[in-house]
Amino acid sequence: MVLFNKLIPNALRKIGYEVIEFDWNTIYSFNKVVKVFSSEKVNQKINHELLKKAKSVKPDFVFILKGEPIFTETLSEIKKSTGAVMFNWFGDDPWEFPVFSGKVANFYDHFFTYDPYSIKLYNEIGQMNAHHLCYAYDMELTSQLKLNDTDRKKYSSEVAFIGSHYPKREELLKQIKDKFDLKIWGRGWKNSSCSDVYQGSALYGIDMLKAMKSVKILLNIHKGFEEGVEESGNGLNLRVIEGAACGAFQITNNQADLKNRFEIGKEIAAFENWNEAVEQIEYYLNKNEERQNIGRNSYERCLKDHKMETRMKEMMSMIGN
């Protein structure tokens, strides 16, 4: 399994940085097996080990990806003991701002968000080094990934949705599941009205990329779509970039930042409402050549603008400036 958090250190190494990783998921995974410690104890262990590692290494930079388990006291102590430039790349704006990201942002020297709308939220609480940074992906990984007959049989469908359950997503998907060959992977779908097309698990890493490469249409629905910018923001979720990096033909709801990253109609398809989403699925299923061309164009756009090495150069340049 290759998770997104592993692509970042690899990209930083490619552009010349020495990177020492601290993956708190290993502590979570260990406790999941032994089932000894409470979640509170696990988080205390994570913070203890992270602080210990930082004091030992004395890094110039500390890069946290989201960082839900990290206590603000730990962030302060790392800053005090190492003097490192500390920054975060956060991926759940704006809905997490009131409950998490807005409470920790000022403990970092820089705070990066995939959502341009959220910049003003950080500025309003005094974090003036808040930056919009669109997601990116490892293009070598996706270009080298090959599908076999087993993969195609398992993952192929007319339409696929890969993501967690939310009521608005269910509202759309239950409208299309009886019209098209739909497969759903993600958390929370087991007891939904779409349980008959739910594939029984979420997809991550290589398995997710294989599914994206296998389907005719990858459908993407941003969390909070049709609930206002305060819920959905203006940014592109990771699924948009992952799908494009795989060369998948993708239909997504039209976030404000989409036009800045892809040419709509040539590199990606976009809809404004549920009816338009259904109409576009019907249209593109009958346009094999056009659909495939758009998928190839999206891949080429990622090669040009959305490689992870490119994004890490942008990030470090912003910090340097």
- Over residues 122-139, the pLDDT tens digits come to 999 999 999 999 999 999
Rounded Cα distance between 41 and 310, Å, is 38
- The better pLDDT of the pair 40, 266 is held by 266
The two counts, helices (H) then strands (E), for the chain are 16, 9
Residues 204-240 have pLDDT tens digits of 999 999 999 999 999 999 999 888 899 999 999 999 9
Domain residue ranges in the chain = 4-136+308-320, 139-305
* Cβ pair 215, 285 in contact under 8 A: no
The token duo for 242 is: 């992952």
What is the architecture of the domain spanning 139-305? 3-Layer(aba) Sandwich (3.40)
- pLDDT number for residue 159: 98
> Tokens standing for 304?
């040009």
Q: What are the structure tokens assigned to 150, written together?
A: 């087993």
pLDDT of residue 1: 45
| pLDDT for the residue numbered 27 | 66
Residues in Cβ contact with 97 at an 8 Å cutoff, skipping those fewer than 6 apart: 118, 121
Task: Provide the whole-model pTM.
Answer: 0.93
% residues pLDDT > 90 (the chain): 88
Omega before 94 cis (within 30°)? yes
**pLDDT tens per residue, range 142-190:** 999 999 999 999 999 999 999 999 998 999 899 999 999 999 999 999 9
Q: Cβ neighbours of residue 199 under 8 Å, at least 6 residues apart?
A: 183, 184, 185
Asked whether the predicted pLDDT for residue 57 surpasses 80, the reply is: yes
Q: Which of 145, 154, 255, 157 is nearest to 200 (CA)?
A: 154
Quote the pLDDT of residue 24.
79
Q: What angle do CA 186, 64, 123 make, to 5 degrees?
A: 95
In this structure, what token pair is assigned to residue 244? Answer: 């494009």
Beta strand 110-113 with 130-132 is: parallel
Which residue from 321, 273, 318 is spatially nearest to 63, judged by alpha carbons? Answer: 318
Q: What is the pLDDT of residues 90-107, one digit of tens each?
A: 999 999 999 999 999 999
Helix (H, G, I), strand (E, B) or coil at 118: helix
Percent of the chain whose pLDDT exceeds 70: 96
Q: Would you place residue 19 in the very low, low, confident or very high pLDDT band (cuts 50, 70, 90)?
A: very high
Cβ neighbourhood burial of 150 (10 Å; 0-12, 13-18, 19+): exposed
Band (37; pLDDT cuts 50, 70, 90)? low
**Which range (24-28, 75-79, 141-145, 195-199) has the least confidence?**
24-28
